[in-house]
Each structure stands twice: as C-alpha cells, then as structure tokens.
Chains A and B, each alone.
Chain A
Amino acid sequence: MAQQGPTSPVPVPTAQDAHQPAPKPVREGIDLIVNDKRYRHTGDKAMPLLWYLRDVLRLTGAKYGCDQGDCGFCTVIVDGKAVASCQTKMEKLSGKRVTTVEGLADKDGKLHPVQQAWIDEDAIMCGFCQPGQIMAAVDLLSRQKNPSDADIDKIGNLCRCGSYGRIRKAIKRAADTLKKDGKA
C-alpha cells in the first residue's frame, strides 16, 4: 500500500512552511479496508469518502456527479450497504469495509454477475454513471432476490443518457444469474 497521494502519511512540505520545522510523522488516523486492502487516512476527517477514494487512493471508479447525494454516481458499498460516498465523511469510516466497483470482480478477473449482466444487456451509453448503478444494483440484489420494477425504481440513480430500460433488464438478468449460482 505504497499509495502516493495528497494526504499520504508523508506530508510534502510547501513553500510557505519550508522555514518551519518538519511536521512529525503522523501515527494516528482512520483505519479502514477498501477492496480487501487496509489503509490509514491521516488527513482531514471531514473529507468525503468519494474524494479519499479518487484523490488519495486513486480509485476512480466511483464518480463525482452532484455532491448532494442525488445522482448516485459515487455509490459504493460500506459494510454491505450502498452509500453515496460524497455524503460519507471519513470520520464515520473507522474500521469499516468499503467495496468499490474496482473490487467487485474476483481475483482472477471474473466479473461479478451484475457486471456481466451490464455487458450482456449493453446497458452503458456514456458509461459515467454505471459504476454507481452497478454498486447500487449489487446492494439491491443482496437484499432482494427478485426485485420488482418498483424496487428497481427506488434505487433512483440517475442515468443522464437514459439507459434505464437496459439497466432494468440487466438487474433482472443478474438476479437470475445469482439465483442459479445460489442453487448450484
């Protein structure tokens, strides 16, 4: 986890504080697990998870869309539940387990059934909202094995390109796959 980033444990001195004594190494922080890897966040506790993922860990699958929790582009799963990462501050994440779209496929690269269903239904247009859509669908299918149209509508993630019909089909296809896999 030699992740270089703006809030990495080794602060980079700036011009203004070059004459000041070097800051002491930070030993405290927020420990969390992202896609099965351990990280310690030592920067601003109020930083939203979205920007921690994107700017610090350089995991850019979760996208920025609105910073109000309305669009769902930044959806990730925290301890098994979908959250808008733009609305989730780092201070709430101590000891939590975060899964992003980068962590969905298995170690050999075999796609999660939801990802595969997205490809099979060709549900992407510009694709920008789709990592968030996929994470929301994974969350839904963990709670609802047979989601109804109303359940799917309740997700409420925005697709600016209007791929809703294919997203709906992809979720139902993934539900079928998960059921078959469950039986096998």
Chain B
Amino acid sequence: MSGEIRLSRRRFLKYAAGAAGALVIGIGSVDAAERPVPLALLGDTWKQVGPYLRVAADGRVFIGVRDPDNGEGTATSLARIIAEEMDADWSRVVVEPLGLGVTVDNDKAKFLYGHQRSGDATSIPAAWADLRQAGALARWLLLQAAARRLGVPADQLRGEAGMAIAADGRRISYADLASTAAEIEAPATPPPLKAAERYQLIGQPAGDVDAHAVVTGSLAYACDDNIGDPVIAVLARCPYPGGTLDQADRDAASRLPGVHAVIDLTPEQGQPAGLAAQAPAIVVLASDTWTALSARAALKATWKPGPNVEPSAGTLEQQALNLFGDEQATPITVRNDGDVLATRKKAARALEATYVQPWVAHATAETPNCIVRLDPDTSITVIAATQAPLQVYSVVQRMTGLKPDQIDIRVPRGGGGFGRRLEADYVAEAVAIALAKKPDTIRNRPIKVMWTREDDLAHDYYRPMAVHRLNASLDKKKNIIGWHQRMASPSALVNRNVPDNRLWQSELVPDALPAGLVPNFRSDWYPLSSQLQRGEWRGSPHVTPTFASESFIDELAHSLKANPLDFRLALLGDARQLAYNGRGGPIDTGRLANVLKLAADKLDWSRWLRSENGLGIACAYVFGAYVAHAIEVAPTQDGVDILRVVVAADVGRVINPKGLEAQLQGATMDALSTALSLAITVKDGKVQQTGLRDYALSPTQPMPNEVETIIVPSTAEPAGASVVGVPSAAPALANAVFRATAVRVRRLPLLRELARLR
C-alpha cells in the first residue's frame, strides 16, 4: 500500500508499506518536485530573465528550453543560442525542457515563455528573435556585477566561457558573480546583442544535449514516466470514421486478473479536429500494459461503419479527375497572373501531366501516449510528448475547467513528431478517462494511455492524398509562358474553425515556384471530401506540390531535350528577389540557383547525358530555406538502386551544423522511403495498414549508405531545419528514375508504380 494525504496545496504526507509490516511516512512538498518549472531552474536569482537560465553558485548554468524537442534538435540549438549570448561555458551548461509556462493574470491564462511550439520550422526563427535577449541580459548583469567587484567600467569587461574578463586580464567566474548580479537593477532598455564575429558556439558543431541520457536508457520519454504508479489504459477504437460499436464482450475483458475496469468513451461532439478524442472506444484499465492489451483482445470488439462509408483513394482520385475536367467546377484560385487559358491557345507547344500521391501516416517512433494525474479539486498534471503545448493546455483546460495555475503540462523529449504531435487527441482521451467514473480502487490513480502501432496507423491525422494536374505552355523559343496547376485534396484544415475559402492553406503555397518566374501563372485548388482525420506532415504544404512541379519541370526539360539543371537555372534567371506572401519571403532566386549548382557539382552533373545511371535533380524553397537534392540511381531487375544522394541547403545562419546535417539527412531518408514505398489505403471504409509490415518504414534497400550534405555558409536570418530536406527529395528521385529507366513515375509510392509500368 502506498498513498498520499494532501496537507495543503503545496505539502502532502506520503506513506508507503515498508519491509516487515512497517509503515513509512514522509512529508513531501509540491515545491520540491512538482512544479512545472524544473527544480534546477528555480531560485530567486534571475527573476528578470524568467526561467530560461540560472547561474548556479557551483558554476553550472541551467538553461530551460521552451520548445519541445521531438528529435528536431531544439533542446541543443535553443540552449546554444542563449549560452552564446551570455558567454556561458558550454561544458557547464545543463539543459532542462520547460513545460508549458502558464499562470493566472486577472483570471485569465497568461503564457510566460513566448513561442512554445515545434512545427513548420518555427523554433529557430522565433528563438533568434527573442531568446538571444535572455542571454544578453544575463551577460549584461554579470558584467555589471564584475564591474563593481573589479572597480572598472562594465564596458571594459567582456564575457568568455563563463568568465568576466577585464582589459588587464583579471577575471571572475560567473558563478562567483551570480548572487551580486541578481541584485543589480535591470537596464531600462534591452542590452545590445553580441556581434556575430565574436560567436564561439553558434555555427560550431554540437552533439545532442540528451545523448548521454538516451544511450544509457535513463531519459524518460512520456511513455517511460510512471508518476504515481499509473493505471494503464488501452483503447479499442472504432476503425470506421463515423462508425459505431457492433458488439464487445466486456465481461470477458473484466474477468482477466489485473483488469480494474472496462469503460466506454464517447468523443466530445462539436470540437475541432485534434482537440478531442477521435473515435468512440472501449477503454480497458489495467495494472500493466500486457494485461490491458490482453483484455482488449478479449473484448473481441466489432464495429460498424457509419452512414457514409469512407471512399478509397481511387474513388477520391476519380473525383479529382472529374473536377479537373468539369468546366462548371469552381476551384479556389490562390494565384492568378496574366491569363493562362488564353496563353495555352496561342502556345507553340503545350504539355500536361497528372500526378497522384497517396495518404501517408506519421508513424512516430514513440506511439501516442499520455499520463494524466488529476485531483479534481486542486490540480492536474499532464505528461505528454507534444509539438504544441498550448494545444494540450486548451484541451486540458476545457475538459477540466481548472484554472491556469492548477494545470501543469510537462513536455519531455518526444520520440518523433513530424506533425503528429501538433494534435492533442491522445491527451483528450487521457483526460476523459481521468474524469470518468471509475471504481474506488483506482479513482485517484493517474492514468496512462498507451497506443499500439496498430492504433497509431489506424487513427493518425494523415497527410492528405493529393492529385495534381499541371499544364505548361511554351513559346517557339522554348520559354515557359504559361503554367496552370490544379490540385485536388481533402484539406487538413477542415473542421478546424478555418473558413472554406482558406482551406487550401494546409495544402499548397500560392507563391511556390515557378510562381513569379512564368508570366501567365495560375494555381487552383479543388476540395475533396473525406472523413479520415488529416493533419500536417513535415512541411506538408510544400511536399506534394513540389513533387508535382519539380517532376513536371523535368518533363518539360526532357521534352525540349534540355539538361534539367540548365533548364532550371535558366528558368530562375538572374539573381533577384521574388515577392513571397508567406513565412520566410521574399525568395532570392540566386540562393536557390546556388544550392542547385552545389548539389549538381557534388554529384558530378557533367555525367548527366552520358551516364548509364540516372541522375535527377530538384529544388525547393521551404519556409525561408533553399534546398536542392541531386540523386543517382541504377536500374535493377525489380526496381532501382539509389547509389548516391546529395542534399545542399542554405538555411541562413547555421546554429548547429551537426544538428542541421542530421535534420537534412533524416528528412531526406524520410522523404525517400515514403516516396518509394509508403501509402495508407482505405478499403471497406477503414484504413488497411495495421503494422510496420504493411507500412514498411525500414528502408535499408534500396537506400544509399549515407546522405551527402552541403551546408551553405550564410549570415542571413536563420530558418528552421527540420522540414527543409523533405520537399525536393522525392521529385529528384523520380527524375533520376526516369533517366535510369525511361519510365516517368507520376504516381506514388514509386516502386509499386515503377513495377506496374515496366
């Protein structure tokens, strides 16, 4: 037996059964271990700079990282940005993930830490905009303290690796200055930022701050946390969108030893997608995961489709083609320069191609899971990997009605995100179960919801399937004078409080190239209807459109017997800025041309015409970053072998080249393995894939042993890194496959289509 008696909001008695019948009692304090801010970051010093950093008297510097790290490397790069500005000794820096920073201000929630989201490559740009100030203030205060101690003006002192150093060489460690610095009045205006020439950490390679904890198995992901000995919850969910329960043997499940309860869960109605549980479910609550899984199997739950049976992707594809052919259809035109239809009539040459891309899943390494500890009167603690702590908060607050300062959202490192963890459905499930009526024996125990891989593949927020039709008009001089692209997809923004005329925003980018390069340009989007849940997927508005446009540019080059690299460079033209109504703009065509040339050179592009292997190239502009892939493939009996993959990227100033390289390599592998083999398919109204055998992520063949990276040095504003390596990889592959096999693959996954066409 063990338990807790709360003495007050912040103190509790803890008792537990000890050896030989003893009762062990201890007194705990919420302050000691239960605060949303990690203990190491607390302390009365450094109130001015919030929880981002604390200089301890022993010389360690604790840095709190506000954006979740699901493998993007934010824990390392955000901490480096702060450490750089304060001139910390990196070897003494301890990095702690911050939970959601929220407090009460005039009865309303006040969010303390600014940007707290890892998605769409936003973490680094946001950190660059404000986190440097935290470090700069720390340095300023420490140098003021040193000035007092040494009796010299502060402007004659500099910081270096955890030391304040005077012109005459005298030095005091930050540790010795910490307490004095805390007494110094904050400056009236923000202290100046460091000059880039003085950077010691930014631009230098750094290993992941969590590496030691990961390789020793001591890093606790959310699923590894066992706070308060949680009851394990496993759910049998309805696999049919809009479907209902047929039958289930609840008694058989309840009878298993270790099963505490079997309860029903009905998702809240009327909530936006991603902010409520997805599907009706039967919840098994058990002492451990194995028992819960066994009991779920014993339920033998069967389900019925709803009135509207989800169509297959083939049906949706046909709907798209019908829309493209229907002159009465009314797409949303997201950009319209000149007159593409008139241009087509007078063109010397016109080309058309249609590209079809399937539904795909995120399949994060760590399946969705969430721990909730609820004391209905006083507090709730939620432990979940998330990319969007604010989303988690809004779900928890709505469902519990608790006040902001009663809600503790903890965000440990997550096992992959890719957009899946922008959704909070799994949190809503856990909170609903915590709130549900349960037997007394478990009423006050925390709940840990665990998803299996089968659950994950059946209840993802999929990247929407998409059909693109592209038309190009060429004049007699082989210039592209007209470009008309039509896209049909089920928008990921449906049921998210987004007006109908904005639903395209998750699907495509109006100013994506070749917009701005072709005088008559039009981009139309047609909505398709589906009941599958949809969401963001690693740069998604750039991903399927870039496959279509960069494949099509290649087709145009081929039809003109032009080298596709030269053709692209000619299309980009002289280095100039193109207007770009979106994050990261304007587009600098020179920077894009540069990465194209770098990737091509590295692959020895001069072989393009003669090589028996296929060389392919593609490029993309992604949230302020410029990227190109050059790929070499060899045909094999039953497909292709990818021999080399080069990715060149210009992301502006590089915070951590080692981290950037990892992101580029990982995104490339992700994009290639997805393009080669992966599809989520719907049959008889439900998703067919149930495991990693039919959603086969493991790609050692035909993948190369390594992805070669080129990182362009730059002093431009830093862009995010985690998604930029995705969009151009798949078209570069398809373009290389065309050169190697003479088969143009316009339908993904590639290997299946290649086999069909050969």
For the complex, is B516 an interface residue (Cβ under 8 Å from A)?
no
For the complex, is B224 an interface residue (Cβ under 8 Å from A)?
yes
| Chain A 4-40 residues near chain B, CB threshold 8 A | 4-7, 12, 14-15
Also in contact, A134 and B416, with CB within 8 A (given A48-B290, A126-B365, A156-B698): no
The reply to whether B691 and A119 contact each other, CB–CB distance below 8 Å, is no
- On chain B, the residues within 8 Å of A62 by CB distance are 217
The reply to whether B291 and A118 contact each other, CB–CB distance below 8 Å, is no
- On chain A, the residues within 8 Å of B706 by CB distance are 164-165, 168
For the complex, is A178 an interface residue (Cβ under 8 Å from B)?
no
The reply to whether A160 and B217 contact each other, CB–CB distance below 8 Å, is no
The reply to whether B662 and A122 contact each other, CB–CB distance below 8 Å, is yes
Contact with B along A125-147 (1 / 0, CB 8 A): 11111110010000000000000
Partner of A161 from B223, B289, B666 at Cβ < 8 Å: B666
Determine the main DSSP class of A at the interface with B: loop
Q: Give the total of B residues in contact with A, Cβ under 8 Å.
A: 72
The reply to whether B211 and A124 contact each other, CB–CB distance below 8 Å, is yes
The reply to whether B220 and A60 contact each other, CB–CB distance below 8 Å, is yes
- On chain A, the residues within 8 Å of B701 by CB distance are 153
Partner of A126 from B232, B257, B290, B416 at Cβ < 8 Å: B416
The reply to whether A124 and B214 contact each other, CB–CB distance below 8 Å, is yes
The reply to whether A68 and B691 contact each other, CB–CB distance below 8 Å, is yes
When C-beta atoms are compared, the residue in chain B nearest to A44 turns out to be B290
Sort chain A's interface into a size bin: 35 or more
Of the listed residues A48, A51, A128, A130, the one surrounded by the most CB atoms of chain B closer than 10 A to its CB is A128
The minimal Cβ–Cβ distance linking B737 to chain A, given in whole angstroms, is: 20
- On chain A, the residues within 8 Å of B662 by CB distance are 122, 125, 161, 163, 166
The reply to whether A7 and B287 contact each other, CB–CB distance below 8 Å, is yes
The reply to whether A128 and B666 contact each other, CB–CB distance below 8 Å, is no
The reply to whether A55 and B698 contact each other, CB–CB distance below 8 Å, is no
- On chain B, the residues within 8 Å of A122 by CB distance are 207-208, 211, 658, 662
- On chain A, the residues within 8 Å of B1 by CB distance are 12
- On chain A, the residues within 8 Å of B70 by CB distance are 126
The minimal Cβ–Cβ distance linking B667 to chain A, given in whole angstroms, is: 7
For the complex, is B665 an interface residue (Cβ under 8 Å from A)?
yes
The 8 residue pairs across chains A and B that have the minimum distance between CB atoms? A61-B217, A126-B71, A162-B669, A128-B415, A6-B287, A60-B224, A127-B214, A101-B217
Give 20 CB contacts A-B under 8 Å. A7-B288, A12-B1, A14-B260, A15-B441, A44-B290, A44-B294, A48-B290, A54-B289, A58-B226, A61-B218, A62-B217, A64-B223, A64-B452, A70-B692, A119-B207, A126-B366, A127-B214, A128-B71, A134-B215, A161-B662
Which residues in B have some Cβ–Cβ distance to A below 8 Å?
1-2, 19, 70-71, 73, 207-208, 210-212, 214-221, 223-224, 226, 229, 232, 257-258, 260, 286-291, 293-294, 363-367, 413-417, 439-441, 450, 452-453, 658, 662-663, 665-670, 673, 691-693, 697-698, 700-701, 703, 705-707
Question: Given A44-B290, A48-B290, A61-B217, 11 other A-B contacts at CB below 8 A?
Answer: A2-B19, A6-B258, A63-B221, A64-B367, A65-B692, A66-B692, A118-B215, A125-B71, A125-B666, A127-B208, A165-B665
